[in-house]
Amino acid sequence: KRLYNDHRQQQQQQRDAEMEDLKQKMESLETEARRLREQLTEKEQQVEDQASALATSSQAEAALKEQHLALQKELAEVKAKLQKAIMVVGKLKTKQAALQTVCRQLKSKLQDQRGKSSS
């Protein structure tokens, strides 16, 4: 019975460590998502600035259009990265919820076992 309880406690500690790891990964991904959002805002501003600059000079128009296209491509890549980060955060939140449920169940079982072993 003691071996069983020790095993349960070890499982609980392992789940707690996994939860902490997931929490750190989520925080890291959320930080990355914030950084990507800021980058996206900067890129959008650059695209807008480039678009307004297009109207001011017909001589520079071709070069600006090229830059504009490059910025739009970059913007699309940043948006794709942001979407991926958002998906990963969602998956991690789902995993975290599942692990929390398992942890609660294990804690309950451990308490039940402790209650049975003391009586």
Return d(Cα 77, Cα 65) in angstroms, integer: 18
Q: What is the dihedral of CA 37, 38, 44, 48, to 10 degrees?
A: 160
pTM: predicted TM-score of the whole model, two decimal places: 0.45
For residue 31, give both structure tokens: 């930080």
Whether the Cβ atoms of residue 50 and residue 36 lie closer than 8 Å to each other = no
pLDDT of amino acid 72: 95
Name the percent of the chain lying above pLDDT 70: 93
pLDDT of 110: 87
Distance CA 40, CA 53 (A): 20
pLDDT score recorded for residue 55: 65
What burial class does residue 116 get, using C-beta atoms within 10 Å of its C-beta: 0-12 exposed, 13-18 middle, 19+ buried? exposed
For residue 50, what pLDDT is reported? 81
Q: Which residues of the chain have pLDDT under 50?
A: none
Instruction: Provide the mean pLDDT of the chain.
Output: 88
